[in-house]
Amino acid sequence: MINKDRVINQFLELVQIDSETKHERQIADVLKAKFTELGLDVVEDDSASRTGHAAGNLIATLKASGETGSSAAPFLFTCHMDTVAPGNGIKPIVGEDGWIRSDGTTILGSDDKAGVAALLEVIQVLRENNLPHGQIQFVITVGEESALTGSRAMDAGQLDAKYGFAIDSNGEVGSICIGAPTRAQIDIEIYGKSAHAGVNPEDGISAIQVAGKAIARMNLGRIDETTTANIGKFEGGGETNIVPDYVKLYAEARSTSLEKINKQIESMKEAVEAVCREYGTKFEFSSDLAYPAFHFNDDDDVVVLAKKAAVQLGLSGSTFISGGGSDANVFNGFGIPTVNLAVGYENIHTTEERIKAADIVKVAEYALEIVAQSLKVN
């Protein structure tokens, strides 16, 4: 029932609308109009006033239809409308090999407009064929590419769903992400003492030297199979003739285990504290858990439904754990069991990004089959 040409053309239209993260106003207006034309009740939340993004999250509600639909448990689909940079002026090219790419000067935007296009097609098919369905909320977020800013700012009270499906994961269409880590943002400020680097350097304390030795004592990279840590940015210093008295480190840690991530954060803090003590200087250390981890087993209800839908279409239904976060983390934190479905895109966040046209169709077919399977959930 999926109209292959229509869903692909929908995708090609969406990726040509500029929507780099923080600049989602144009795409939000387009999507509001599309959902409204399809007969959904559309609300844009007030998160923009708190996030600094140009638009808020969209919550489009499709009311239940049919006798079986009215008794089915409500659920949600979620995708994000923003892209990474460079994402302005995208020119999609459909190759003879079936892959869709940009012209090489920008990303493509299949992350996550392939998911959005698929969901719009699902709604059209449900309407055209008068298919029964329960209540479905389509939650299209801003700021996913900015550390899940949009979903984190959402009022969970606006969501009326017993479970959910994000459509925003790497991997073969039909595979299901059933777990992802929590992420801690870590900021470390080290204070040294300035002095003339040529006249009396012994009277100074180099904040850069202190930071370097602290980093050398940290366990970074792959800590274990579910835990990682990284220093992403080193900021500070000045003229070469001055012993630097301040630096700031921007770091992160990730783990599917709260105990392990807290242990990693503490070990990084201890490394900084020990070196600063040796040099007789001060530091400030702060960490913030940006979003929670989630993990399901293959026999959990939301996973079982996703697997049944996949197998019904001849897809694998295989499950995996991701090393990256998504809006699914946030919705699970809201108490809505949510797994993340693979879209089939490749090389995302680069100018080499690509997706098979056939996979966009498969994603739409998969989402439509999930709707059918959801009728059995009360």
| Catalytic center residues | 82, 144
- Which residues lie below 8 Å from residue 221, measured CB to CB, with a gap of 6+? 228, 229, 230
* Alpha carbon separation from 14 to 10, 72, 104, 366, 372 (Å, rounded): 6, 31, 18, 20, 26
Total H helices, total E strands in the chain: 11, 17
- Which residues lie below 8 Å from residue 103, measured CB to CB, with a gap of 6+? 91, 93
Contact call for residues 284 and 189 (beta carbons, < 8 A): yes
Other CB atoms within a 10 A radius of the CB of residue 180 amount to: 26
Both tokens of 371, joined, read 């709707």
Dihedral over Cα of 163, 169, 175, 177: its sign: negative
Both tokens of 62, joined, read 């499709």
Question: Checking DSSP bridges between strand 176-180 and strand 319-321, what pairing results, if any?
Answer: parallel
Contact call for residues 268 and 286 (beta carbons, < 8 A): no
Contact call for residues 234 and 259 (beta carbons, < 8 A): no
